[in-house]
Amino acid sequence: MQIASAASAFPKNYYPQKFLLEQLQQYWGEKLKNPQMLARLHRNVSVEGRHLALPYEQYYNLHTWGDANDVWIQVARELGEQALCRALHHAGLEPKDLGALFFVSVTGISSPSIDALLVNRMGLSPNIKRLPIFGLGCVAGAAGIARAADYVRAYPSQAAALVSVELCSLTI
C-alpha cells in the first residue's frame, strides 16, 4: 500500500496579508474591540497572503450561514475536482479507476455531499464507494486517510482517494 499521488488546488482570489488586515479592520469597524491585537496577530503569523473563496468585496454580500455555505458548495466542488484530477493524473489513473472516494471538510456541508456531486461531474464509476466525513474538526484529514488506508487494505487491487476542502475565509 502506498500513497501514489497528492495534489492541491487553491481559489484564484489571492490577497496580500496587509491588504486583508485593512479589509478586516474596515469590515468589523467599531465592533473590533482591540485593532492592535488583530494587527499584531496578522504580523506574527508570517503569512504573506491568502487565497479567498471569493473576491474580497463579495464577502459583504454574505449575510447568513446559508449564504456562505452556498458559496462553499460551489467552490468546494470546483476545487475538489481540480485537486482530484491533478492527483489522478500524477498517479496515472483515470477517474473511472477509483474504487472509493472519501471526502472531509469542517468549513461547510452539502447534501448531496461534494463527493456525490463529483461522481457525475468527473465521470467516476457509478459503483464507487463514497464516504463523506463531517464534524470531526481538525482530525478529519487523519480520519479520512485512515479510512482510505482501511479500504485499500481490504481491496488491494483498487485505488481510493481522499479529498479535503477547507474554505476558512467563508467562516467569517
What are the angstrom distances between the C-alpha of 97 and each of 94, 126, 130? 5, 11, 14
pTM score of the predicted model: 0.89
Contact call for residues 119 and 161 (beta carbons, < 8 A): no
Contact call for residues 150 and 99 (beta carbons, < 8 A): no
* 85 classed as catalytic: no
CA distance 147 to 106: 17
Per-residue pLDDT of the chain (172 residues; tens, 9 = 90+): 788 899 999 999 999 999 999 998 888 888 888 888 888 888 888 889 999 999 999 999 999 999 999 999 999 999 999 999 999 999 999 999 999 999 999 999 999 999 999 999 999 999 999 999 988 888 999 999 999 999 999 999 999 999 999 999 998 7
- pLDDT for residue 70: 97
Burial class (CB in 10 A: 0-12, 13-18, 19+), 60: exposed
- pLDDT for residue 43: 85
Task: For residue 129, list its beta bridge partners.
Answer: 100
- pLDDT for residue 45: 87
* Chain centroid, CA 22 distance in Å: 25
- pLDDT for residue 123: 93
- pLDDT for residue 1: 73
Helix (H, G, I), strand (E, B) or coil at 68: helix
Strands of the 129-134 sheet, one edge to the other = 129-134, 98-105, 159-164
Name the one residue in this structure whose C-alpha cell is 473590533.
32
Which amino acid is located at 138 in the chain? Answer: C
Contact call for residues 107 and 138 (beta carbons, < 8 A): no
| Three cell numbers, residue 60 | 459583504
The one catalytic residue in 138, 153, 156, 157 is 138
- pLDDT for residue 31: 86
